[in-house]
Amino acid sequence: MTAPLAVTARALLFDMDGTLVDSAASIDRVWREFAARHGLAPDTVLAALPGRTAQDIVAGCLPAADGDTVAAEVARIREREEGATDAVAEIPGARRLLTSLPPRAWAVVTSASRTMTERRLAAAGLPLPEVTVCAGDVRAGKPDPEGFRTAARLLGVDIADCLLFEDSAPGLLAARRSGGTAVAVAAPAGEAAPYRVDDLTAVTAHPREGRIRVEIRPSRAHAQSAEGMSAEGIRR
């Protein structure tokens, strides 16, 4: 069994969908309905989803639509998504990890609306964070790093002293651009990140005196490349 790597940080920042919450079935259903309404190929629409806000997705899929049409479609999609929590579940290890952290030592950074974020976390049985940065809180969504930097600022910590947990390509790009340290959670192969895990059962946090020692057991696919790292990771 691969020995865990260890790194210390001041705060942990988490994406929501695919990182803390498995909402894939719910999201898939709502966006397939959108594709059908507009005569779009469902696979093309679904490929545009990870890490992006509904506003950016709709505008990208309907380039000829005016602002009112995009806004109306976004409102319709958000209403459907906010009500579709029947298929939402915890990513393995998420509840254990979040409840081990001090309230001001973690945040959620998501492309979802605030209402959707609260409903999905609740449906998955996860605690609500004191700091949440949602789609309406930033000028630019992922892969822009604004959301992660905003969360670090609201927690009163340096982004360089944060671990950023993400599952999507745009989210990991935002993490790298932010100046924090990325942890890829079941992310697509080929996405660069110092750490990769299959799910959050591979992450254990030990808060002490304002810092958090985080032990990370890398995914099997990442274990070989991780062997060259020091036993204490990248930061002490």
Residues identified as active-site: 15, 17
Distance (Å, rounded) from C-alpha 134 to C-alpha 196? 24
Q: Quickly count: other Cβ atoms within 10 Å of residue 163's Cβ.
A: 27
Task: Return the H-helix or E-strand segment holding 203.
Answer: strand 203-208
Distance (Å, rounded) from C-alpha 103 to C-alpha 135? 22
| Residue 94, Cβ density class (10 Å: 0-12 exposed, 13-18 middle, ≥19 buried) | buried
Distance (Å, rounded) from C-alpha 72 to C-alpha 167? 29
